[in-house]
A and B are shown apart, each in its own frame.
Chain A
Amino acid sequence: AQTVTQSQPEMSVQEAETVTLSCTYDTSESDYYLFWYKQPPSRQMILVIRQEAYKQQNATENRFSVNFQKAAKSFSLKISDSQLGDAAMYFCAQRTYKYIFGTGTRLKVLA
C-alpha cells in the first residue's frame, strides 16, 4: 500500500533562517514520483518541487531543495532564507498510479 507520513503538524522558523520539513513514504512500486506542494492561507495549492525516484540527484528550486533518501524512503524539504511568504501548509505527495498526500505541515514564519 502507498502511504505518506508527515510527522510534524506544525513548524516555526525565523525569517531568513533555514527549516526542514520531514516526510516519509512507503510503496512497493519501483517507478514513482515525489512532490512537495504549498497551500498558502485561502489560496490555491501550488507545486514547490518534484523528484523522480530514479534520479539520485536531489532536486532544487531556488531556495527550496530536497533530501531524497530512497533506501530510507525519506523525502524532506529544506527551505533556505525563509521569507514571510513561505508561511503555508506544505504537503508531501507520492505518485505511482495515483497521488497520495500526507497530512500536511503548517509552517509559520516569524518576523
Chain B
Amino acid sequence: KAGVTQTPRYLIKTRGQQVTLSCSPISGHRSVSWYQQTPGQGLQFLFEYFSETQRNKGNFPGRFSGRQFSNSRSEMNVSTLELGDSALYLCASSSGELNTGELFFGEGSRLTVL
C-alpha cells in the first residue's frame, strides 16, 4: 500500500508569490490534514478535510487555504507569501470518521520564501 505522497518536496519562492502544495493520501483514507512545522513551534494545525468538506481549521490567516477532491487528494495554497511562511508543510491522512486514530504523514514539502 502506497504511503502519503506530497509534492513538490522542495520549493523556493519569493515574497508576494503564491504556492500550491499537493497531497495524495493512503488509498481508502478520507481524512486529510495539513500542518506547518517550524523549529521551536512544533506542528501547527492548518486545516482538516473529510470527504471534500473542511471539518476543522487552525488559526492561520486567510492567505492559507485548502481543498479536497473527490478522490481524497488535497491541495493547500498560500497566497502573498511572506518570509515567515518558510517551513516544512506536512500532510497526514487517516481512515476513521471519528478521526481518533493514527495519522499517517507524508515526507513534507519544504518551502523557502526569499
Residues of A within 8 A of B (CB): 6, 33, 35, 37, 43-47, 50, 52, 91, 93, 95, 97-104
A98 in contact with B107 (CB, 8 Å)? no
Complex contacts, A43 vs chain B, CB 8 Å: 107
Complex contacts, A95 vs chain B, CB 8 Å: 99-100
Instruction: Report if B64 contacts A (CB, 8 A).
Output: no
Q: How far is the CA of A97 from the CA of B33 in the complex (A)?
A: 12
Instruction: Report if B75 contacts A (CB, 8 A).
Output: no
| Segment at the A interface, from B11-19, B41-49, B78-86 | B41-49
List B1-45 residues whose CB lies under 8 Å from chain A: 3-4, 33, 35, 40-45
Q: How many contacts A-B (CB < 8 Å)?
A: 48
Complex contacts, A6 vs chain B, CB 8 Å: 42
A44 in contact with B106 (CB, 8 Å)? yes
9 sample A-B contacts, Cβ–Cβ < 8 Å, listed by A number: A33-B100, A35-B102, A45-B103, A46-B105, A47-B102, A95-B99, A98-B33, A99-B43, A103-B42
For B102, give its contact among A50, A97, A103 (CB under 8 Å): A50
Instruction: Tell me which of A6, A35, A44, A104 has the highest count of chain B C-beta atoms within 10 A of its own C-beta.
Output: A44
Q: Of all chain A residues, which has the CB nearest B99?
A: A95
Report the minimal beta-carbon distance from B50 to chain A, rounded to whole angstroms: 12
Instruction: Report if B53 contacts A (CB, 8 A).
Output: no
B42 in contact with A104 (CB, 8 Å)? yes
Instruction: Report if B90 contacts A (CB, 8 A).
Output: yes
Q: How far is the CA of A33 from the CA of B41 in the complex (A)?
A: 21
Q: Of all chain B residues, which has the CB nearest A6?
A: B42
* Further contacts, 6 of them, CB under 8 A, given A43-B107, A102-B42: A6-B42, A37-B105, A47-B103, A50-B101, A98-B45, A104-B42
Q: How far is the CA of A35 from the CA of B102 in the complex (A)?
A: 9
List B56-104 residues whose CB lies under 8 Å from chain A: 56, 58, 90, 92, 99-103
